[in-house]
């Protein structure tokens, strides 16, 4: 006779913690984190070889390293999370227990988000300490770091969505395409203005509103040059990113719920 079914929260937390433990044991994760930290520290020496404000170069390289290596972590770890369970057939054992499919997806996403948060915190601490060593306040960089993390939450949601529906290679490709297009979303408005009236403009409108506008979460240039980032803009960006990630995660749950395992 089986006991009462655990609550969804307990199930999600258990899956998230297990995912977190698996991810932090992944050597690729540590290699990328180490390389990112080296890049941030190396920006100190790079700034000596270039013309311009040394601290601005350190900020620029540091924020770019946090963003790029965060995205790589989301892609390389995220696209294999669900597929790995299917390939090893551990998914059958999990789903044979009182675990709903949506709880499995949300738990995986939460675990990877914890890993990304930890990595971003470590990389940001190194960058902020380096900026402080120059005698500047690192506080203006914090909004950029927060929005980088929000952007990573969106990318991670897509990685989980594609991982729940296809193999890692196609999932990685799809996630990269979404990331690149998300930063070029402005080009659809430009393309629309150059097209004649017709279905082409409609397609541009649909893609513009359907795909994530990651460009609105990119304030690295403003942070580097000390341009103040309005608290309202920061709050709106966080709300947009978290809301979009949640919507993609809902789609991932629906897709995984309908997927059949042979």
- Which tens digits make up the pLDDT trace of 50-81? 655 778 888 888 899 889 889 988 888 888 88
Total-model pTM? 0.88
Handedness of CA 197, 201, 205, 208 (dihedral sign): negative
User: What gap in Å lies between CA 207 and CA 12, rounded to an integer?
Assistant: 33
* Whether residue 252 has pLDDT greater than 70: yes
Let me know the angle formed at the C-alpha of 157 by 155 and 161, rounded to the nearest 5 degrees: 115
Q: Give residue 44's pLDDT.
A: 66
Instruction: Tell me which residue of 197, 117, 194 sits closest to 151, measured CA to CA.
Output: 117
Report the pLDDT averaged over residues 200-204: 82
Q: Give residue 225's pLDDT.
A: 86
């Amino acid at each position: 006779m089986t006991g009462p079914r655990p609550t969804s929260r307990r199930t999600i937390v258990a899956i998230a913690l297990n995912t977190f433990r698996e991810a932090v044991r992944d050597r690729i994760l540590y290699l990328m984190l180490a390389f990112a930290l080296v890049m941030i520290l190396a920006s100190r020496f790079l700034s000596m070889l270039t013309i311009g404000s040394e601290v601005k170069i350190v900020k620029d390289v540091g924020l770019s390293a946090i963003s790029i290596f965060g995205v790589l972590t989301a892609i390389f770890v995220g696209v294999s999370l669900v597929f790995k369970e299917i390939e090893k057939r551990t998914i059958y054992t999990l789903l044979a227990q009182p675990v709903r499919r949506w709880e499995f997806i949300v738990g995986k996403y939460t675990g990877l988000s914890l890993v990304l948060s930890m990595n971003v915190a470590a990389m940001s601490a190194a960058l902020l300490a380096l900026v402080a060593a120059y005698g500047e306040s690192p506080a203006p960089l914090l909004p950029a770091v927060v929005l980088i993390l929000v952007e990573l939450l969106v990318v991670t949601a897509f990685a989980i969505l594609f991982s729940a529906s296809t193999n890692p290679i196609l999932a990685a490709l799809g996630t990269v395409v979404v990331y690149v297009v998300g930063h070029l979303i402005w080009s659809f408005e430009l393309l629309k203005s150059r097209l004649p009236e017709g279905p082409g403009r409609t397609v541009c409108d649909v893609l513009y509103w359907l795909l994530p506008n990651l460009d609105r979460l990119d304030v690295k240039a403003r942070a580097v040059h000390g341009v103040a980032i309005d608290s309202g803009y920061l709050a709106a960006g966080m709300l947009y990113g978290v809301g979009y990630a949640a919507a993609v995660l809902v789609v991932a749950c629906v897709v995984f719920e309908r997927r059949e395992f042979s």
